[in-house]
Structure formats: structure tokens, C-alpha cells
Chain A
């Protein structure tokens, strides 16, 4: 028996539904590498434009966040949170611990990094501490690959933006990974405990606030609907053009 008309639209839409549904694999996961060491061949560029070795920069317990400076999503909240922890904490930044913001977008420049940093420092109480203890790095794609994979940080480029999670990764003065803090929130007491444990050389279980993602929201329906919109758009415009040319070309109706 032939299906009735009423099934046509749902059937048509279900086909579009499965068509082009994007998949986000586990390439954006953060895999814990507790106890592992940062390799000593990772070269980053600091805000002044000098090339430095990451491992050599880590002389005290360090909190590393991966961000990119043109990020429209979660990177700014993450950096804002970093700023507020620095202000709230009793520990002395630059002496007891330090923060690194490493860009994973090779398009970011040291100038942009400096601009971003200055922007934060402008509104801070602990200006001097932050100037020396909160460092912004950029790098080329090869070194970005090395540093992110050594710390287990996954990200994926979509269009001109990235899909990624927010986290703070703690390493001790020797470059050993000791803790993952997922999400953007960190309490000053958690920072303090992590620094103490880092000094002892212990690793800590990861703290879960939230799995917070940053991604340009390309909803599955967007592609689905895009297809519908494209199809209907073409049909509408083509029929309009045909109609227009028909009116122009065919002789006028008789007046009676």
C-alpha cells in the first residue's frame, strides 16, 4: 500500500536529519598525564618576542592554561578567573607559583599576547607580581603540537575557530605534571594545596568543576536546515526568474 502524503514531510525531514550530522570525536578530550614530565625541546615565544624553552621557564610550581587570544568563547572567562585567583590568593605570584597562558593558535602573535596581558594587568591590584609571574606565550604549530600533546590537551580547528575544553594544568618546579583542574573555576585554597603538593612532588587527582567547552556552536540542525534553506532558496529564486522571463518574453494578453 502506498504511503499517504502525510508521511512525506516527516520522511523527507528525517533524511535531512541524518544527513551531514557533524561528529565531535575525542580529539578535544584532555587526557591526564600525571607524573609525566614536560620534554625539554619545547620552544615558545614570550611577550617580548624572545624564543624560550618551556622547561627552562618552569622554575617554580606553574599553572598552565591553553587558550587562544582571538577566542570568542571560554578563553576570556578562563583568563578572567586566573586574574581573580591571583588577586585573591595569599601566595605570591612569581615567587611561590606562576601562571602560563599558552596560545594554541599559531596565528597569535607576541604583540597580541602582550596586549592581552597588559589589558589584564591594567585592572589589577597586584600589577608588579602579575607582570613577572603571569606569562603569555605564543608559538608555531610544531611546538604547539608538542606542548599540547605532552600535557594531554586536545583541540580541533573548525573554520577559523577551535573547539576545546577549559582547564588549568599544574606542574611542579621540575616540569612534572601533578594535577588537572577541569573547567574555569579554581578556589584559592585549591591553588594553595596544589602548590604545596607540587613542592612535595606529589600528584593529585583531578578536580572536576565542570566540563566546560568552547566551541563555535555549529548545531547539527544548522547543516540540516542549511540544506533545506539552500534547496528552497534555489527553487524560489529559479522559479521567480523563470516567471519574470516568461512575463517579459511571452506576448501580452489580449486586451479583451
Chain B
């Protein structure tokens, strides 16, 4: 990209003093970079909560029978783990943190289209999060339905369902507002000369994601509202006793929640598409194919929800149709993977921490993706439905996909965001331990699932003991790795070596501005003449 190099005279965004000082200067800032960091800190806090809950579940499962908690506590914990991880971390995740921080810079804009709305999204997010988490501590005990709030149990259980459901409802608004903001920003605020097909792939991924956020989220919002009305006003929607249909709930829930998987994974794929060219020092292979597959995933993703309901009694025709569509969505995902691998081929590979994360993303994402075919296929699905196999697949995709990409992203853009370098050796050690822990934790669950261990039970048959010990052991390793990674980042953000503007020799616009960027990113808006990922200069 032939952007004019802009030399910053302004103060960087971290030091800038606006109307408010200190904490207020952050929580009332409309600067997209500060909002990105607000999300980062809140998400990190919730992630630690979610990870601790996950560890507690694994500790409970270290031996058959009651180990450290009662069955009901376990039900409450896996529900809160799910709600926290999905609604508070993975769904907002990459778009809220890196999208907010980098989207305007990568397309050559000074901020997002609606900065105040952007700040409002964060506040709505915090409000929703407080409501959702409060369900654990108030009323009649933590909800125990799992993160899917399946009817009719979700309005029969005496636990504290309403705050959890309302919390998810409120969080939906945050998602919609962010999506809206990004769509307008991308349409309206690209730098002169940045045609659609000159836009980098991370903004493309955010664009596709934003449409999914905008269109799919209202459906789950309305559905959750109906659950609230059913519980409070006794209007029958999903409860057969009131003339409702519980299967309908599943339809409405998954019409949103499957596209939501793409809200999670598309930005992750965008991150990988940024990192691989930089660390291979060559353009991404098949730029247009990657763009096309991004949009295709977002589109087909709307039509596959039925594969979550293969055992719910759908008609045969629907089952076959949903299974077929599910296989169809694997095609654009595979296009991406092939393009990524082809990008690495014959590249001048620089094996730095972000690339290590991105490469291991490919490995775990492939395992997750291929086991997804087992679940997408009708006949095999019936056997492993609701077993530990599903949990393993899900975590390989969501934690392995989104989680690894998130860590890849933070290690890639860390110098830009904080203006400091992290300790690469510690970061790599952390990655190694994390990677081993991750696979030791989740891989045995494929085996357990195939052998028939159901998910969401605090207890299991003695024959499953061995693999469960291994899995819990993996969880402990994973937490150790996580601690190393996070503490290294916190330490480096404070005391790391000052970073150059372009430590990785990247070519997208964010590497043309100083680290950390100035308040308005660019002194002068750059004019784009070249394609993205053009390393010939």
C-alpha cells in the first residue's frame, strides 16, 4: 500500500488528556482505540472468570461421583461458564477489541462512523454483563439450563433464569450496535483509492461479521424476550402446557446461534489472513477467493441451523437438507485453509510468536473442522449427539479457532496497541505449554464421546475414568500456560521495550502509523494506490 508515511506530532492515544482524567478519561472516551481496550480489559476479566469455572468443572470430573461439588452446583457452573464464554467473550471478542482498535486505522479513517454509539455499545455490554452475571448471586440460585436456555426447561426451572436471559438480550443490543457502526464505517470511511477489493482481509471479515450481527441478533433477542413473557405473563410460546411448542424455541435459538458461530469465527479467520502474509512476506494467496469465501460463509451460515436439531424430530427432508447445507458451508472454510497454506508456501517465513499462534490455529481448527463433518453428517451425528464429542469439537472450533486467533491477534498487534514489545521467549514458552494443555484437555473428550459419555453430567461411569483424568490434567497445564501468557503481556504492556512503528514489516495501513497511534491515527488521510499485501516496495 502506497500510503504516504505520516509522521506523528500529536500525542499518542494512551497519553492524551481529554475532558476527563484517569479512569473517567477511559470510560467516557469516544476514541475507538480506547474503546477497543475497554473491551479488551472487560473481556479479559470475564475470561479469567470463565476459565476458572471451566477448571472447576474439570476438577469435578477428575473422578466419578461427587468430587468437589454437588450436581446442582455443577449445572449452575456449566451454565455460567457457557454464558460467560459465549455471550461475554467469544461473540464480542475479536470485533469488539481488535475491530474497534484497528478497523478505522486499517481502512485509513480517523475513527468509526458513530463514535458515541460505539461508546454506548460498550456501556450496554457492561450493563448486560452485570445483569447476566447477577443471576448467579441473586434470587433462587444460579440458572441450570446451559447457555442454550432450552425450552421448556428454561421456564420450568425454579432457578434464577430471568436475569440470565435478559442479560443475553441486552448483550445482543451491544452486538447489533457494533455491527451497524462497522458497516457504516466500512462503506463510508475508507481512504480515497481504497476500492472494495483493495481493502485488507481483516476489515472484510469484520464487514461480513457485522451483517450477521445486524441481521441474526434481533432474532435471538426477540426469542429471549418471548421466554421472559412466557415466564412472567404465562403466554404460551414454547411451553406445551400453555399451547406452545418447545421445538420452535430450538429453531429460533439456532437461527441466531448458528450464525453467531460465524460472528465468532469470521473475525478469527480475518486475523489469520492478516498474520500469514506478514510473516511469509508475500501477498495472501487468492485474495479474491478469501474475500468471496468470507461472504459466502456469512451467507450460507444462515441456512444450516437445523444441524443442531438432528435428534429433535424434524422431518426427513429437512434433515437431509440441513445436512447438505452444512457440508456446503465447509467448502468456503476449506477454501480459506488451502489459501492460507498456499500463502505460507515458498514464503520468507519468519517464525515469530504471532505466526506460531496462527499456525497452531490451522492445526486445531482443522481438527475442529473435520470432526464437525462427523457431526454434520446425519448418520454419525445421531450416535455422538449430546456426548463429550460435541464438547470437544465445539472447543476445538471456538477455543481453538477464536481463542488461538485472539492470542495470535494480541501478539501481532500488541506493539501497535501498547507501543511496547513483549518478551518473545516467555510468550513462546507460554504458547507451548498452552498448546500441550489444550490438546491434552480436549482431545480425550473425542474419545469419551465416541465411547458414549454424555455431556453436562457431573458424574460418569467408571470406564470413562482414565480419559477424564488425562483431560483434567490437560486443563491444569492449560491454565499454567495461560497464566504465563497473560502475565507476560501485562508485564510487557508496562515495562516492555519500546516498539517501532512496524516491527513485523507489515504492509497494511496500521503499520504506517506510529506505535501507539496518535489520537486521530493519521495526520493526513492516506491515498491508496496499490493492492493490499503488496510487499514489493
Q: Which residues of A contact B (CB under 8 A)?
A: 9-10, 13-14, 17, 21, 72, 217, 219-222, 224-225, 228-229, 232-233, 236-237, 240, 243, 247-248, 252-253, 255
Question: Do B240 and A219 touch (CB < 8 A)?
Answer: yes
A72, A221, A237, A243: which contacts B244 (Cβ < 8 A)? A221
Main secondary structure of the interface of A (DSSP, over half): helix
Q: With the chains together, A167 CA to B222 CA distance in Å?
A: 42
Q: With the chains together, A225 CA to B245 CA distance in Å?
A: 10
20 pairs, CB–CB < 8 Å, chain A vs chain B: A10-B235, A217-B240, A219-B236, A219-B244, A221-B237, A221-B242, A221-B243, A221-B244, A222-B248, A224-B237, A225-B237, A225-B252, A228-B222, A229-B252, A236-B215, A247-B188, A252-B187, A252-B189, A253-B189, A255-B189
Question: Do A240 and B525 touch (CB < 8 A)?
Answer: no
Q: With the chains together, A225 CA to B226 CA distance in Å?
A: 9
Question: Do A253 and B188 touch (CB < 8 A)?
Answer: yes
Instruction: Bin chain B's interface residue count.
Output: 20 to 34
Q: With the chains together, A224 CA to B239 CA distance in Å?
A: 13
List A contacts of B57 (CB < 8 A). none
Contact (A217, B245) CB under 8 Å given A9-B229, A17-B235, A237-B215: yes
Q: Which residue of A lies closest to B214 (CB)?
A: A240
Q: Which residue of A lies closest to B525 (CB)?
A: A255
**Cβ of B218 < 8 Å from any Cβ of A?**
yes
Q: With the chains together, A229 CA to B184 CA distance in Å?
A: 27
Question: Do B245 and A222 touch (CB < 8 A)?
Answer: yes
Q: With the chains together, A9 CA to B225 CA distance in Å?
A: 11
Q: With the chains together, A249 CA to B525 CA distance in Å?
A: 23
List B contacts of A233 (CB < 8 A). 219
* Residues of B190-220 contacting chain A, CB below 8 A: 192, 211, 214-215, 218-219
Question: Do B233 and A10 touch (CB < 8 A)?
Answer: yes
B251 to chain A minimum Cβ distance, whole angstroms, is 9
Q: Which residue of B lies closest to A250 (CB)?
A: B188
List B contacts of A14 (CB < 8 A). 235
**Cβ of B183 < 8 Å from any Cβ of A?**
yes
B268 to chain A minimum Cβ distance, whole angstroms, is 24
Contact (A221, B215) CB under 8 Å given A247-B184, A247-B188, A252-B188: no
List B contacts of A21 (CB < 8 A). 243
**Cβ of B422 < 8 Å from any Cβ of A?**
no
* Chain B 29-49 near chain A by CB (<8 Å), digits 1 or 0: 000000000000000000000
A9, A72, A217, A248: which contacts B187 (Cβ < 8 A)? A248
**Cβ of B149 < 8 Å from any Cβ of A?**
no
Q: Which residue of B lies closest to A228 (CB)?
A: B222
A89 to chain B minimum Cβ distance, whole angstroms, is 33
